[in-house]
Amino acid sequence: MWRALLLILCVQPAFAESVVATRTIRAKAIITPDDLTTVNAALPGALADPSEALGLEARVAIYAGKPVRAGDLGPPALVDRNQLVSLVFLSGGLAISAEGRSLGRGSEGELVQVMNLASRNTVTGRVGPDGAVYVGWND
């Protein structure tokens, strides 16, 4: 009898929920609740909980009905390519600020190259939570 019960438990399919897109989500779009749904299937690499994706940015196009994977998402970019940004150098009590043009996209904490508009020099800095680019310190 125990063998029969064990066999039944092993044969019954175990379904896991996976997150899929309800419509095509373009790259650079912020994920909203209307963009996602769950299906009763274990799709390889798919997120299991829609709340894990909410508020994140799609790094690639995700087509309707396709699984939403963690690698397809990332934090929203605060700095876009060709955007004017504040360049900030901080050292002790000294703060120097200049205007620059971003040469790439970046989220908070990511490194981006920025051209200082006054000197035309290109520097690399880290995107801050305020959208400014901080340069001149070692992490």
Q: Average pLDDT per run of 10 along the chain, which is 139 residues long?
A: 45 71 95 94 91 94 94 94 94 90 94 96 94 79
Same domain, 89 and 114: yes
Domain boundary among 58, 74, 90: 74
| Residue in the structure block whose two tokens are 């970046």 | 106
Domain count, the chain: 2
Q: The tokens of 44 are what?
A: 């390889």
Same domain, 94 and 45: no
1 lies in some domain: no
Same domain, 64 and 83: no
Q: Rounded CA gap, 139 and 122, in Å?
A: 19
**φ, ψ for residue 86, nearest 5 deg:** -90, 130
How many degrees, rounded to 5, is the angle at CA 131 between CA 75 and CA 29? Answer: 35
